[in-house]
Structure 1
Amino acid sequence: MLKEKIVNKETGIITYGITPPKQSNTPEKLAEISQKLIERLKDLDIDGLIIYDVQDEAERTTQERPFPYLQTIDPTAYSKEYLSELEVPKIIYRCVGKYTETQLSEWLTSDAEQDRFSVFVGASSSKQEVRLGLPEAYSLSKRLNNELVFGGVVIPERHLKNNDEHLRIANKVRNGCRFFVSQATYNVEASKNFLSDYYYYCQNNEIEMVPILFNIAPCGSQKTLEFMKWLGISIPRWLENELIYSNDILDKSIRLSQEVFEELMDFGLEKGIPIGCSIESVSTRKVEIEASIQLVRDVKYSMEQKLIQKR
């Protein structure tokens, strides 16, 4: 179903995102963590599970990282060894700069007979040393495994500064990207600016629009808020104040996140832009993870109601 929805450029795709556990965990601990995740997700009605490929982003900012960077398990290995019980398509992120051409080629050609999904991610900053660039990764994928459905990352906040995110996306589509996933979205203005320019550019150039999945993530503490800001997530000052001074920061963030996404969904439906949603918890706290799971159910119900009304 996920492949059909992406190929048909459908509105309403919903995914859940996770970060693999740290490599330093014992096998027993890894099994325990994975089983808890499976129990949480096995009855969740999602189109795909995103598994992130984490890279150290220290070069991106001079600010001290709120949480230490620790190496995580490779997302493909984690999917195969620990999450095979979950019968849902896995979307594997690949930070392509970490890999040599040989390494990425081997990954691309493995399990070539299966439906596979990926998101190719470039360098986190111009200072980061890379072994492979995005154009090379796109070319390799098309040459070695044309069946791989791969997407890219969209950063609407970057559009505020450069006003060219829609051009980046259009160029990535020409290079084979079939869908896009944003980082956590709190800045509705930046996102609508991007969508508007993306829509009119595609209209003027007779380009079909591909699905854009806006990521939303609960924020349950000031520590999580600090980490989100360190990650480069754009949180408007008024919204940050609403979170900091609320009686229940988690509940407030959930309601604000839903409002942001629903506004973007309405904007997309009006113009025929295929909008979807990806949900995650950037925190490992149980209460924030469980809030993100409930958010999936709430957002899915909201999207379905809007699609029914649209018909």
Structure 2
Amino acid sequence: MLAEKIRNRESGIILYGIVPPKKETAPERVEEIAKLQMERISNLPIDGLILYDIQDEASRTSEKRPFPFMETLDCFDYSRNQLKALDMPKIIYRAAGKYSKEALTGFMQEASDTMNMTVFVGASSKEQPVTMSMREAYALKQQVRPELLLGGVTIPERHRAKGDEHTRVLEKVQQGCSFFVSQGVYDLQASKDFLSDYYYHCLETNTPMVPVIFTLTPCGSIQTLNFMKWLGISIPRWLENELVHAHDILEESVNYSEYNWNELKAFADKLGIPVGCNIESVAVRKVEVEASIELLNRIAAKTA
């Protein structure tokens, strides 16, 4: 069970991430999409499914969003209604700042003890209005459902700029986080720098390390590449050049994603850091979704 792997701080956890259909989608189409997703996911060699809670991040950057923001169905409702037949643990994201205290409390009270975990996500910028701070959300969780497994978000690329991502992670651990899921990883060096500082800080302070789940995201077009950059995913200039000029950008990105995971896993294993992998597709195009499944199967075959 995923919960036990997290509690035991095991390495090699594999997750798959999806976004619910758009809120304006017709009910019959929602059911069709859910059926396709369940058929695609049901036999995957994964420990659990992530369902993202999408929020508008326009305040994070002045750059124009490559794709228009469209609100999605509530991921918790979608998981327990349309995806009810999908018998696997589900990690429900919650953009904490957009919920009232009552709404977040209700979600935590209704979440399953054994089949649900959650990840709280903060505001995309200081300018984004919120109903509660992350510190308040963490305190509420400890009060309402201390036994519910809680995860946090980590951004290894931020470590390069500020050098404190490892201490951010450990502060969140003190507030109840038992695992972390990263933003999409293309900058291998930044991720290794973060892991190294995380390891040695834990070693020096005699602090147990919790699992870090690295997210891998195939890129199938220049538009997807621009969207990933808009989301804040750091792509080294040399790698961006390779992708832009590749004969098949999707195949190239899948190969690099697999390489990055192999490098991160080997580095983490050498130090005994528990790491895992989350595969997603930020695009809904069938070819990119299928590429994410191919990447997952490649990684699972080597991680087993």
Decide: shared fold, TM above 0.5: yes
Q: Which runs of 5+ in 1 are unaligned?
A: 305-311
Q: Is the 8 A contact 1:154 1:181 kept in 2?
A: yes
**TM-score normalised by length of structure 2:** 0.98
Alignment of 1:218-297 (within 5 A): 218-297=218-297
The residue that corresponds to 1:206 in the other structure is 206
| Code of the aligned partner of 1:232 | G
In the TM superposition, residue 123 of structure 1 has moved relative to its aligned partner by 0.7
Equivalent residue of 2:277, what SS? Answer: strand
CA distance in 2 between counterparts of 1:258 and 1:298 reads: 8
The two structures, once aligned, show a CA RMSD in angstroms of 0.9
Distance 1:43 1:128, change over 3 A: same
Query: Does structure 1 conserve the Cα–Cα contact (< 8 Å) formed by 2:31 and 2:82?
Result: yes
1:216-255 Cα offsets, whole Å, 9 max, x none, are 0110110100100000000000000010001000000000
Alpha-carbon offset, residue 80 of structure 1: 1.1
Q: Which residue of 1 aligns with 2:140?
A: 140
Hey, what's the Cα distance between the residues in 1 that align with 2:88 and 2:217?
Answer: 21
Per the TM alignment, residue 115 of structure 1 is displaced from its structure 2 partner at its CA by 4.2
- The answer (yes or no) to whether the contact 2:3–2:114 under 8 Å persists in 1 is no
SS in 1 for 2:255: helix
How far off is 1:112 after superposition? 5.6
Q: Is the 8 A contact 1:165 1:194 kept in 2?
A: yes
Q: How many residues align?
A: 304
- SS of 1:39's equivalent in the other structure is helix
Report what 2:47 is aligned to.
47
- Structure 1, residues 39-90: CA drift from partner, whole Å, max 9, x if none? 1111111101000000000000000000000110000011011101111101
Give me the TM-score of the superposition, normalised by structure 1.
0.96
Q: 2:149 aligns to what?
A: 149
Return 5+ residue gaps in structure 2 as ranges: none
User: Would you say 1:118 and 2:134 are equivalent positions?
Assistant: no
**Partner SS for 1:179:** strand
Q: Separation in 1 of the partners of 2:113 and 2:152?
A: 22
Q: CA deviation at 1:116?
A: 2.2
Determine the structure 1 residue equivalent to 2:5. Answer: 5
Give the match for residue 193 of structure 2. 193
C-alpha separation between the residues in 1 aligned to 2:112 and 2:280? 28
In the alignment, is the contact (CA less than 8 A) between 2:89 and 2:114 conserved in 1?
Answer: no
1:3-58: CA deviation from partner (whole Å, max 9, x where unpaired): 11000000000000001110100001101111111111111111010000000000
Assess if the C-alpha contact under 8 Å between 1:218 and 1:292 holds in 2: yes
Q: Single out whichever of 289-298 and 269-278 deviates more from structure 2.
A: 289-298
Partner residue, 2:86: 86
Displacement of 1:215 in angstroms is 0.3
Aligned partner of 2:68: which letter? P
TM-fit CA distance, 1:157: 0.5
Matches of 2:91 and 2:297, distance apart in 1: 20
How far apart are the structure 2 equivalents of 1:163 and 1:203? 17
The reply to whether residue 24 of structure 1 matches residue 35 of structure 2 is no
CA-to-aligned-CA distance 1:121-158 (integer Å, 9 cap, x gap): 01111111111111111111111112210100000000
